[in-house]
Chain A
Amino acid sequence: MTVLLWLVPLALLLGLIGLGAFVWSVKSGQYEDMEGAARRALDDSDLDPKA
């Protein structure tokens, strides 16, 4: 069962990285314009028309 000694901390670490990423995304304002972000993704006017 010694495998738990490093597997559990590893799982927690991965979770914490995810949490950290979310905190960063909230703090940098990525949830301030959810509708706009969804629409910007559909805007293809920056594409080369020949491609």
Chain B
Amino acid sequence: MGASASTVESPGGPLQRAVFAVEGMHCAGCMRRVEEALEAVPGIASARVNYTLGRVAIQGDKAAVEPRRVADTLKAAGYDATPFEAGTADAAAERDLKRLLLALAVAGFAAMNIMLLSVSVWAGNASDIAPETRDLFHWISALIALPAAAYAGRPFYESAIKALSARRLNMDVPITIGVMLALALSVYQTAISAHHAYFESAVMLLFFLLGGRVLEQMMRRKTRTLAGNLAAFRTGTAERVNGNGSTEAVPPELLQPGDLIRLKAGDRLPVDGTIAKGGAEFDASMITGESRPVTLGAGDDLHAGSVILNGTVDVTVRATVGGSLIDDVQRLLEKATESRSRRLALADRASQLYAPVVHATALLAAVGWLIAGAGLHHAVVVATTVLIITCPCALALAVPAVQVAAAGAMFRLGLFLNTGTAIERLAEADTVVFDKTGTLTDPSFSVRLLGDVPADLARLAARLAQSSRHPLATVLAEQAVEPPFADITEEPGRGVRAEVGGQDVRLGSPDFCGLDEAQIQDAGGASLIAVRHGDRTAVFVVEQALRPDARATVQRLRDLGLQPAILSGDREAAVAPVAAALGIADFAAGLDPREKIERIEQRAAAGQRVLMVGDGLNDAPALAAAHVSISPATAVDLTQAQADAVFLGGSLGPVASAIVAARRARRLMTQNLAFAAAYNALAIPIAVLGYVTPLIAAVAMSASSLIVTANALRALPRRHRVPSSAPLATGKREAVPA
């Protein structure tokens, strides 16, 4: 995107820049249509689509880039759009990626040029190069290598210093030591006019490793982008009530504490707040796991993620989350996250073993040569070459290369990794704990008839439902075959009614239809809709159905050797039927966040490695406490941030597929580490005996890196499929008797 577009003059005042997430762009023509549709709007100076990110950046005057106008324009062109505000974490990650790319370019430039000079020196050493020419070439190499390594190696040096100051060892410590020693030795060798210098080894090492890091960062960017767009679409815009009573659509990120926002039936609250005016029923299942709607009025606190089911309320935005539940969750999270950071990634374990062994070997080699009567200079050269040739190129790439390839494979399965180390932990899981609401069940609703209802009455109900804005009624309306009634009266919060053939027909709360709610049996506390035609009545139960492939996935997980269990915040009466339908005997209901953590910790203490799958705010601490965790893309932000991976769509299948892919990836990681160990076992004796020349070091380093990377590529799926950006399954749902 050109940075120069902001100079366009506009009569409407200074230009504003706004970014929107756009859904449904799948081809070059789409990009063009989106840009043309926007640029046709008076006041919009430029629109530029970023296809990779699924976003469009618009510049124009204030009125033209107003979210609602832009969304309407794109809607008319056939695309859904929602304003997108980049978080600070996003911006930092983008900067990191740019920095890594530049470092990679510098290292690549330096490696190529030094290699040209080095090959000349190696050829010359074998024939008749003049010592002056060789020294000149070495000095030029130093001139390129020293600044290049100082610049391109910064990501490693910084990480190594951070690790050392925390008294830990990571892979970057031996990398840093190796690079520094190689450079120092080479400068010294050059100064004394020796035959060998190792500049190309040091810079090549940085180049290979940076390549791995760039790939890793790009993989994360893909995941982050998708998650960001999903979040933007989930919250959409909020309707802010201004002082003069008018309303205006704003992105939720721009809401200030104290702002008043208006929620209508079906809206999801984007921020925490307090009800200022009105009262309504809310679905708080995202927060508590409880599937029964709660009725709240003025003065009650609401958490982000609550969905309003009927009526209209005005909500005052709150500055800090003050509710006891959120406080609890935050505190528990801190504790749980602490315990997780104690776990060591496979790569770090390898480096903890590797660094002492290699450094001790180098020292012993130097001492050995000294004892054998060699000079100090020779001993130091041998010790350094041991460090250079074992310099952990293969080892440092062994795990990350597999992580990148496996993450790409999982991306195609609809699973996005938040952390690279999640793969190892996924492979180790032997127990899978599900949350019920929104995880095992579909986040949307389905309708079931209670008892025998005449077909004509059911049809009538569906026909009436089309005229209601109540979210439960819209589910019923999907079954309608006839056009809606022309003359309808809607009584907010109660239902709709019409006159058919002189008779009164009603659809709404049981009370509205003249039924006593307490008399209705077998509803299990789920939401009810009643219909009345004359004196005939019928009742529908609206409930959350199981995800279409929940049963198959649970069975697949069992086949993979994982024990399934359910920990739910919902009532026992709602959990038991789900557990029975899935054949899971191990379930607990009515748990608060603290109890969920306790149950997870008990399992961990019993030696189980728990994979937690959950979506609610009440699941967030449990996700952080579990060995590894996954949440659906519909989860609340705080919860999603805790999960190691996020899966997309209506299917639960990615959870099982992830286990398979992770186990495969772990096998490849082990192979790679074994190869790296074997390579070192071979290389160390050669170096200790003093046979390593820069040529051998360069060949060995490249060959081992390439072998490890090629092996990692086997983690990619065999069949190449293009990932569709949001495969939200719309399969048949399986209803659970509640």
CA distance A22 to B140 in the complex (A): 22
Q: What residues on A are CB-neighbors of B140 within 8 Å?
A: 8, 12
Contact A15 B112 (CB under 8 A): yes
Partner of A18, one of B1, B29, B109, B130: B109
Contact B3 A26 (CB under 8 A): no
With A12-B144, A19-B109, A23-B105 known as contacts, the answer to whether A45 contacts B29 (CB < 8 A) is: yes
Q: What residues on A are CB-neighbors of B106 within 8 Å?
A: 19
A-B contact count (CB 8 A): 64
- Counting CB contacts under 8 A, is A1 at the interface? yes
CA distance A18 to B112 in the complex (A): 12
Q: Tell me the residues in window 288-336 of chain B with beta carbons closer than 8 Å to chain A beta carbons.
A: none
Residue of A whose beta carbon sits closest to that of B53 = A33
Q: What residues on B are CB-neighbors of A12 within 8 Å?
A: 113, 140, 144
CA distance A11 to B1 in the complex (A): 32
Q: What residues on A are CB-neighbors of B49 within 8 Å?
A: 33, 36
- Counting CB contacts under 8 A, is B101 at the interface? yes
Contact A4 B133 (CB under 8 A): yes
Contact A33 B50 (CB under 8 A): yes
Q: What residues on A are CB-neighbors of B2 within 8 Å?
A: 28-29
In terms of DSSP, what is the predominant structure of the interface of chain B? Answer: helix
- Counting CB contacts under 8 A, is B378 at the interface? no
- Counting CB contacts under 8 A, is A43 at the interface? yes
With A1-B133, A45-B29 known as contacts, the answer to whether A15 contacts B52 (CB < 8 A) is: no
With A22-B105, A26-B101, A32-B50 known as contacts, the answer to whether A11 contacts B32 (CB < 8 A) is: no
CA distance A18 to B108 in the complex (A): 11
- Counting CB contacts under 8 A, is B98 at the interface? yes
Contact B133 A28 (CB under 8 A): no
* B: interface residue count bin: 20 to 34
CA distance A23 to B106 in the complex (A): 9
Contact A26 B105 (CB under 8 A): yes
Contact A33 B112 (CB under 8 A): no
Contact B1 A43 (CB under 8 A): no
In terms of DSSP, what is the predominant structure of the interface of chain A? Answer: helix
Contact A33 B52 (CB under 8 A): yes
Q: What residues on B are CB-neighbors of A28 within 8 Å?
A: 2-3
Number of A interface residues at 8 Å Cβ cutoff, please give it. 26
Partner of A15, one of B31, B101, B113: B113
Contact A16 B109 (CB under 8 A): yes
The 7 closest A-B pairs by CB, nearest first: A36-B51, A43-B28, A39-B28, A33-B50, A19-B109, A35-B52, A22-B105
Known pairs A32-B50, A36-B52, A43-B29 / 14 extra A-B pairs, C-beta < 8 Å? A4-B136, A8-B140, A11-B113, A12-B140, A12-B144, A22-B105, A26-B102, A27-B98, A32-B1, A33-B1, A33-B53, A39-B31, A42-B28, A45-B29
Using CB atoms and an 8 Å cutoff, list the residues of chain B in contact with chain A.
1-3, 27-29, 31-32, 49-53, 98, 101-102, 105-106, 109, 112-113, 116-117, 130, 133, 136, 140, 144
- A-B contacts, 26 of them at CB < 8 A, read A1-B130, A1-B133, A4-B133, A11-B116, A12-B140, A12-B144, A15-B112, A15-B113, A18-B109, A22-B105, A26-B102, A28-B2, A28-B3, A29-B1, A29-B2, A32-B1, A32-B52, A34-B52, A36-B31, A36-B49, A39-B27, A39-B28, A42-B28, A43-B29, A43-B32, A45-B32
